Amino acid sequence: MLALMQYHLVALGALVTSLATAQVSLSPAAELRPALEKTYAKWRDAIMRKDVASWQQVTASHRRAEVRNRIVSEKLPFPAALFELPAPPPELAGLSFLEAKLNGPTATAAYFGKVDFGVGGAPTPNLLVLCFASEGGQWRYDRADFVNLEALPEVRRELAAGDLQYLKEAPEAQPSGTIPPTPIEAPAAKYIAKVYVFSPGREVKVQINKISRHRFANAKEAEIVIGGAVDGSNEVQYAISKLPGGTGTEALTIRVYLLSQVKDVKPLKVFEYQVAENQPTKSADTGTFQVDAAVLAKLMGKAP
């Protein structure tokens, strides 16, 4: 869900002239934080006001293209569907700022606390990492990684105590140093597909038909397959690695579903790689699934 919802930061104000006069030396985090939070504030405001022009202005180019591709891969209208989110982007108020990191034209800002997506229930303390790209001398929002720490209680205790050791190694907390290329426009999907991953303590990268690329970190979520599924053979590549704080013995599931547009027809599971707790896990592999007449009959609700 969260590769579909992109989340970000709040402005803190300008430095006063007296600080410059006193020649106060600022840390990279102190210099980065106001700029990144200002970008997030603008991005969130654009989403809340359903302002397409502002959203385009404050969002990284490659991310704009990816969002558009994801929407058309779900057979939804663009840009109207851009603002049809299941929950609003969370505010940063009430969260604890942990650190900001800079690497070339990319940056991240990490927060800990009760990240509230406004979907009801009582939020628990978790990790939110916001990612940014620099374009034309301005920081633009890229994406957010929400890390549910329910399966990592020790990491949760460390972050609550101000111990940032986890952030030194966690992949989601590291700015990549490079801005991804802007993808070409994907055609509308013929068959809507989603990839689901359950990966406590692990990072899972999945690529479908060499087009749709996905990354899941300590996740239990699904993402739309860019370009959807195609007739005939479809390829699923995946790579699995242990995250800091994980044991490498947790259960794991990777699945691909086809989504029917026929009322009351449930999603059809067409691919699965599943490992029970304490069982060996492949580090990488490639599999396939077929979209043939039998699968289409089920998808259309015509199979017995």
Q: What 3-state class would DSSP assign to 172?
A: helix
Total-model pTM = 0.67
**Buried b / exposed e along 170-189 (16+ C-beta atoms within 10 A):** bebbbbeeebbeeeeebeeb
Question: What is residue 303's predicted lDDT score, i.e. its pLDDT?
Answer: 74
Cα dihedral sign, 84-179-59-116: positive
Query: Which pLDDT tens digits describe the chain residue by residue (304 residues)?
Result: 333 343 333 322 322 222 232 333 344 556 899 999 999 999 999 999 999 999 999 999 999 999 999 999 999 999 999 998 888 899 999 999 999 999 999 999 999 999 988 777 788 999 999 999 999 999 999 999 999 999 999 999 999 999 999 999 898 999 999 999 999 888 889 999 999 999 999 999 999 999 899 999 999 999 999 999 999 999 999 999 999 989 989 999 999 999 999 999 999 999 999 999 999 999 999 999 999 999 999 999 987 6
Instruction: Map tokens 């997506």 to a residue.
Output: 117
Q: Alpha carbon of 20 to those of 43, 91, 201, 202: distances in Å? A: 29, 30, 44, 45
**105 alpha carbon, distance to own chain's centre:** 19
**217 alpha carbon, distance to own chain's centre:** 9
